[in-house]
């Protein structure tokens, strides 16, 4: 499933207007449909922002991109709006308003009914059961709402995995989709330049791996948070798949039958094995291929080994597993591929009923 992922723009801060425009164009080209624009960073050059914002919003509109902006009294002043009026933001090209501080449940509920052309966004990082209950009691139209976690510029202040998951579960209970940020390893945003992740553990991690971790934790969208991400990072976020755990792996076999089998998306069986993640569909898929798996590469099975049972296992031929507990070699089972060591942490999120797939880089296309 494709996701509605995003980039972040900070007019008047680190990038030149040309760099920001090029970033927007590149993101649109790579299938990114959302932009988070922050308009209340103290270090921003306000006159530069005012000169640039119109061009960026115009380009976003041309590409049909959703523009999310945090709003506060200072934002209205910055954009020369006399008062807080969602229609004025819409006319500028801002389509979603992030309602962080200073809005009561009644005010938010009223906004969702009075301005059907706008979307509104909650701060996922500060959400509580009580806030959601108040919004529900006030009659909020939750179909007009989504949520986005904060990012954390100062090292050591990012969220824990546990708190992010807790917030995501709460929001999903009300049918609210949730996004979060990953840091870029490209140009990092001023003034601290220490990355802008939602989760502290992602601060120095590759953006694409962090993004796949967020998907595994139940996030519905991922935003690149820093000023000027690399072309590879934009492409990775643009092509990110939702609702499944994607693992980078390397082939251990040249057999075309096993490689074709590995190209599918699988579902983890509901009757969870102690030692391995078992694919629900692999044996059926092999039968549909009218193919056989011959003995090949029957080495030991370390954690992260992707195994396929060969014809020696009789009716289990085609059984695909990802090993979670090391096992000895078995001539009836081939080690067809290996999950990259840095990705084995993601195995814990392939829970019963969860979909998973493998991605093989062209240069790893060798034994």
Q: Domain limits of the chain?
A: 6-242, 247-364
Q: Is 163 exposed, middle or buried (0-12, 13-18, 19+ CB in 10 A)?
A: middle
> Between the CA atoms of 79, 85, 90 and 96, what dihedral angle is there, to the nearest 10 degrees?
90
pLDDT the model gives residue 2: 65
pLDDT the model gives residue 364: 46
Decide: helix, strand or coil at residue 170.
helix
91-131 pLDDT, tens digit per residue, is 999 999 999 778 999 999 999 999 999 999 999 999 999 99
Alpha carbon distance 207, 236 (integer Å): 8
List the beta bridge partners of residue 244: 355
pLDDT the model gives residue 241: 85
278-321 pLDDT, tens digit per residue, is 999 999 999 999 999 999 998 999 999 999 999 999 999 999 99
Locate tokens 């898929």: which residue?
285
Please give the residue that has the higher pLDDT: either 329 or 84.
329
Q: What is the mean pLDDT of residues 174-183?
A: 98
| The pLDDT of residue 363 is above 70 | no
Q: Which helix (H) or strand (E) holds 286?
A: helix 282-289
CATH architecture entry for 247-364 = Beta Barrel (2.40)
Reported confidence tier of residue 365, pLDDT bands at 50, 70, 90: very low
Contacts (Cβ under 8 Å, ≥6 apart) of 136: 142, 174
Return the beta strands (E) in 72-175 as ranges: 96-98, 119-123, 145-148
Lowest model confidence (mean pLDDT) among 16-25, 35-44, 170-179:
35-44
Alpha carbon distance 265, 288 (integer Å): 15
Contacts (Cβ under 8 Å, ≥6 apart) of 107: none
| The pLDDT of residue 366 is above 70 | no
Residue 67 backbone phi and psi in degrees, to 5 = -110, 120
pLDDT the model gives residue 38: 86
pLDDT the model gives residue 75: 82
Alpha carbon distance 248, 211 (integer Å): 13
Tell me what the pLDDT averaged over the chain comes to: 94
Q: What is the mean pLDDT of residues 124-147?
A: 97
Reported confidence tier of residue 268, pLDDT bands at 50, 70, 90: very high
Name the region of 45 (left: φ>0; alpha: ψ -120 to 50; beta: rest).
beta
DSSP 258-281: HHHHHTS-EEB-SS--SSEEEBSS
| The pLDDT of residue 164 is above 50 | yes
pLDDT the model gives residue 341: 95
Reported confidence tier of residue 27, pLDDT bands at 50, 70, 90: very high
Please give the residue that has the higher pLDDT: either 108 or 42.
108
Q: How large is the angle between the packed helices 129-137 and 105-114, nearest 10 degrees?
A: 50
| The pLDDT of residue 257 is above 50 | yes
| The pLDDT of residue 70 is above 70 | yes
Fold of the domain spanning 6-242: TIM Barrel (3.20.20)
Is-contact 342 210, C-beta < 8 A? no
Q: What is the mean pLDDT of residues 165-181?
A: 98
Q: What is the mean pLDDT of residues 134-158?
A: 98
Closest CA to 179 of 214, 231, 227, 152: 214
Q: What is the mean pLDDT of residues 61-81?
A: 88
pTM: 0.92
Return the beta strands (E) in 11-103 as ranges: 34-37, 66-70, 96-98
């Amino acid at each position: 499933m494709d996701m509605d992922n995003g980039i972040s723009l900070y007019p008047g801060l680190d990038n030149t207007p040309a760099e920001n425009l090029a970033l927007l164009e590149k993101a649109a080209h790579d299938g990114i449909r959302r932009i988070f624009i922050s308009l209340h960073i103290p270090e921003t050059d306000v006159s530069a922002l005012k000169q640039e914002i119109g061009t960026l919003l115009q380009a976003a509109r041309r590409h049909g991109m959703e523009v999310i902006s945090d709003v506060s009294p200072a934002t209205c002043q910055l954009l020369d709006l006399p008062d807080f009026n969602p229609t004025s933001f819409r006319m500028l090209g801002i389509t979603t308003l992030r309602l962080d501080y200073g809005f009561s449940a009644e005010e938010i509920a009223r906004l969702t009914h009075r301005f059907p052309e706008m979307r509104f966004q909650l701060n996922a990082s500060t959400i509580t059961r009580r806030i959601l209950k108040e919004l529900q009691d006030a009659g909020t139209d939750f179909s007009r709402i989504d949520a986005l976690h904060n990012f954390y510029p100062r090292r050591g202040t990012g969220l824990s995995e546990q708190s992010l998951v807790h917030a995501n579960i709460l929001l999903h209970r009300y049918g609210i989709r949730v996004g979060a940020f990953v840091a870029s390893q490209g140009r990092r945003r001023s003034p601290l330049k220490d990355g802008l992740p939602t989760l502290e553990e992602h601060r120095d991690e590759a953006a694409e791996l962090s993004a796949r971790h967020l998907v595994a934790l139940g996030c519905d969208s991922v935003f690149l948070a820093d000023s000027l991400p690399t072309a590879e990072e934009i492409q990775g976020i643009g092509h990110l798949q939702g609702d499944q755990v994607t693992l980078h792996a390397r082939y251990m076999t040249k057999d075309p039958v096993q490689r074709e089998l590995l190209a599918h998306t699988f579902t983890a069986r509901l009757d969870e094995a102690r030692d391995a993640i078992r694919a629900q569909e692999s044996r059926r898929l092999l039968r549909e291929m009218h193919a056989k798996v011959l003995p090949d590469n029957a080495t030991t099975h370390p954690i992260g080994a992707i195994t396929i049972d060969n014809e020696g296992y009789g009716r289990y031929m085609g059984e695909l597993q990802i090993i979670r507990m090391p096992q000895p070699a078995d001539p009836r089972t081939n080690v067809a591929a290996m999950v990259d060591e840095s990705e084995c942490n993601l195995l814990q999120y392939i829970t019963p009923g969860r979909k998973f797939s493998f991605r093989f880089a062209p240069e790893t296309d060798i034994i």
